[in-house]
Amino acid sequence: MLDREGLDATPVRRVDALRADVTAGSSSDGGMITDPGIRLLTKIGDFVEPLTRFDRGHLTLESSQHVNVDVVARQVFRVAFETIRSEGNGGLPQGVMLAADAAAMAQLSEGQLAASRAAVSARLSAWAAEHGERPAARPAVGDCFTALPAVGHVETCAPCQGAGKIACAVCEAAETLTCEACEGRGSNPCKACNATGDVTCATCKGMKTVVTHRERKVHDEDNNARIEHVQETATCGSCNGTGITRCGKCGGRSAIICATCHGQKTIPCASCKGAGSNRCETCGGEGRRHFTAQVSCAIRETFETNVRTPDPETTSVLKGLDSIDRVLGLAATYRSAAETSADTLRRETTAVTPVTTVTVVAGGSRAQVRGFGPQQDVLDYRNIAGMLLSDDLGVLEEALLATRLMPPRVTDAMHGSLATVLASEANVAIAENAAKKDQSGIASRFRGVVTADYITWAGGAIKTAMTRAYWAMMAKGPVAVLAIPLILMPIDLLVRGQGQGGRLMALLGVMLMTFFAALAAHYWVVQELQKKLAPEGAPKIQRIVDKLNLTLHWLAAAGVAAAVLTVVVASLTGLLLPMSPPVIERP
């Protein structure tokens, strides 16, 4: 709704509504408005009309000026070459031309570069002859340069001399190292037997004999039996009287196999993992390295504009056109000339840019608005809507003085002036944003048709008026829904017989009833306000009330009030009319 571009083909009869056509003396040309000032005023009217409650008859054209401003755009295309060098492991990649050595490669590459450079001038001239005077055309790399294959050479890797691997310095290429645990013997002397293979016999402790104690029954002369203890010495059976036995630890071999090398006497070299050599890091194990050089081409483009006009605002807008497409977009006509020298193409485009400036009188103030280009693009509407609408806002502010929020008091004058203010689409949009912190979005949407100051001013006044109107309407009756909790008193007395469960259900039921009644009250208030402020249905009051958070505030307040009041009523009922204690009948 706010974006109303491209309506320059407005028929003349619409312009008849303008008072301006008399002063500016418009003429018609097959139904087209030819006077640029009238055309711009029509465009302004198209934009401003739906935003305000005023038709374009409230805009008066005081003066208009139409000039053609030359925007001179300079494009420079410079062809630049670069030799990209790379290197890597192994042989040449696919498609690279092989040179004998570094010197040969350098020579070939320089030859390619020189040939490419030499060809640029002619190719660029040829391109310019065909496309030079089309300002949007840009030379491509392919127009000035034919890609050439990279050249390269291959060298044997110096550190590994082409082997791709380097002898291990730790094992000196032997792949293994002497086992340190056994000093290369493969076994270690047995400590249990001191490497003799024999140990002192454990049974006779080396004594070769064993002494045994025995009891013997002897008879004396009187043939009386008695027990006699005797010691007997015998040869040790464990060592057959030698005093030594074979060492159990080494099995008599006097040495134990090395646990580290398992008897191998050597262990694999950890540094080369037993390979005897390591991969050459210089060539990644390839044994050779390649080096390449490739000529590449790029076109660097610069752009600048020059504007020939004494008007600083026009200069600032037209200088801001940062591409040839934007310059051409605003040009009525243009002419381009291109010239080439060596590797550079320069093109100068003079774009004739129509700039219409009108001084518009609206609501007693005047504003200067500029339209740029054949479509008369307006970047800033200079507060024209704000000028038209500020009187309405003044009336609303005046009316607000006789009203207040609490206790609510509003007047017909306030309702009337609020209705007038809301008849403008711009004011409605401002009202819907008034509760937001950041209003920059709405300011840019309006393209200057109202200023940031107006947005702040109108937002504040409409929000105050709307809030007072809402609460006053609520106070006129609907607020009584908050008394609903009182009905809990008789209900509570009725459901007493059903115990605590019944009483709790009654409590919740009354709370819910109060809340839904509050919701209904809100819709009634909104309906009444709609009838008062915009009986024809636009704008939607519901939407404005929602966006100003009034709905949220009422429902939150009503919800809390419903809960608190219901609980208060419930406890008061219990306090004032206590349950009678059960009568105990005595027999």
In whole angstroms, how close is the CB of 93 to Zn ion at the nearest point? 19
In whole angstroms, how close is the CB of 282 to Zn ion at the nearest point? 5
Surface-to-core class of residue 222, CB atoms within 10 Å of its CB (0-12 exposed, 13-18 middle, 19+ buried): exposed
CB closer to Zn ion, 190 vs 533: 190
CB closer to Zn ion, 69 vs 283: 283
In whole angstroms, how close is the CB of 152 to Zn ion at the nearest point? 18
Distance of alpha carbon 261 from alpha carbon 174, whole angstroms:
16
Contact 437, 503 (CB under 8 A): no
In whole angstroms, how close is the CB of 147 to Zn ion at the nearest point? 33
In whole angstroms, how close is the CB of 179 to Zn ion at the nearest point? 3
In whole angstroms, how close is the CB of 211 to Zn ion at the nearest point? 12
In whole angstroms, how close is the CB of 77 to Zn ion at the nearest point? 46
In whole angstroms, how close is the CB of 259 to Zn ion at the nearest point? 8
State which amino acid sits at residue 85.
R
Surface-to-core class of residue 449, CB atoms within 10 Å of its CB (0-12 exposed, 13-18 middle, 19+ buried): buried
Contacting residues for 569 by C-beta, under 8 A, at least 6 apart: 485, 486, 488, 489, 492, 510
Distance of alpha carbon 38 from alpha carbon 24, whole angstroms:
7
What are the residues facing 160 on neighbouring strands? none
| Assigned token pair, 364 | 């007693």
The binding site for Zn ion (CB under 5 A) comprises 157, 160, 168, 170-171, 179, 181-182, 190, 192-193, 201, 203-204, 236, 238-239, 247, 249-250, 258, 260-261, 269, 271-272, 280, 282-283
Contact 522, 574 (CB under 8 A): no
> How far out from the chain centre does Cα 321 lie?
29
- Strands of 96-243 (E only): list them: 97-98, 151-156, 165-167, 176-178, 187-189, 198-200, 209-219, 225-235
Q: How many helices (H) and strands (E) does the chain have?
A: 16, 19
CB closer to Zn ion, 111 vs 162: 162
CB closer to Zn ion, 187 vs 309: 187
In whole angstroms, how close is the CB of 209 to Zn ion at the nearest point? 8
What are the residues facing 152 on neighbouring strands? 98, 292
Q: Radius of gyration of the chain from Cα atoms?
A: 53
* Residue among 534, 548, 550, 309 nearest 432 (CA): 548
CB closer to Zn ion, 257 vs 419: 257
CB closer to Zn ion, 233 vs 500: 233
CB closer to Zn ion, 41 vs 261: 261
CB closer to Zn ion, 66 vs 249: 249
CB closer to Zn ion, 239 vs 507: 239
What are the residues facing 299 on neighbouring strands? 79
